[in-house]
Amino acid sequence: MSPQLMAHRGNSGLAPENTLAAFAKAVESGADWTELDVRLSADGEVVVMHDATVDRTTNGTGAVAELTLAELKKLDAGSWFGPDFSGERVPTLAEVIELVGRRIRLNVEIKSANNPLTVGKVIEALSAAGLLEQSMVCSFALEALLEARQLWPGGRIALISGRGQDLEIALRHGLPWFNVEYHAVDEALVRQAHEAGVKVSIWTMDEPQLWDYYAALGVDIICTSVPHLMPV
């Protein structure tokens, strides 16, 4: 079976990452999934942003956790990518759900794992929209994943890692998905995971010529910043 296609931060090859424009282009590219990163604003809103600060991807400065949603909404999150995206705003998780939640599956990465409210708010938002059962929640932070499992028993919860040997952590804690950096994957890892009932997603594989190689290894999802270039 061919791997499913996941867009990384939306179609971040064609639009500024983690913006509504990028998520719309992920749908247009035919991706099965889109990955997005979430943090809490100073006033507790779930906003979509990879970095801890807004400096790299907006015209503002400062920590996401120290800015209110109203302050974040004043920022230009698109001009850095290109003039066509001038005025693109930092979206909330709710806005992503409203725009594309019924057209593409959501893989929500918990970034502000040190904030005890983040996981619950993400699960609540997906559940309220009727999208929880078709979504994925992932994180590098094991504690966040264990909390997610308490709130969503049997849910699609994934440990993220850059190291293949961290599969052992997913196995030990009974996590059903292992999302691992693509260079760390080989046939033995995929076999070990699958024999234990764990599915494997790889990130961030942006080389179309390698699609068939990873498909042959049996990975379940390939996450890429250029879904429109993948031969699927």
Q: Which of 50, 173, 194, 228 is labelled catalytic?
A: 50
Contact 8, 35 (CB under 8 A): yes
pLDDT tens per residue across span 27-71: 999 999 999 999 999 999 999 999 999 999 999 999 999 999 999
Which of the four pLDDT bands, split at 50, 70 and 90, describes residue 120?
A: very high
Q: Catalytic: 50?
A: yes
Query: Is residue 107 included in any domain, yes or no?
Result: yes
CATH number of the domain to which 158 belongs:
3.20.20.190
pLDDT tens per residue across span 155-165: 999 999 999 99
Query: Is residue 60 included in any domain, yes or no?
Result: no
Query: Is residue 62 included in any domain, yes or no?
Result: no
Sequence-ordered list of residues with C-beta below 8 angstroms from that of 171, at least 6 positions apart, any chain: 193, 196, 198
State the total domains in the chain: 1
Which domain covers residue 39, as residue numbers? 4-51+91-229
Q: Catalytic: 8?
A: yes
pLDDT > 80? residue 1: no
Query: Is residue 189 included in any domain, yes or no?
Result: yes
pLDDT tens per residue across span 77-112: 999 999 999 999 999 999 999 999 999 999 999 999
Give the residue carrying structure tokens 């969503």: 152
Query: Is residue 124 included in any domain, yes or no?
Result: yes
Q: Which of 8, 173, 183, 194 is labelled catalytic?
A: 8
Query: Is residue 70 included in any domain, yes or no?
Result: no
- In one letter, which amino acid is 168? E
Query: Is residue 171 included in any domain, yes or no?
Result: yes
Query: Is residue 78 included in any domain, yes or no?
Result: no
Contact 230, 5 (CB under 8 A): yes
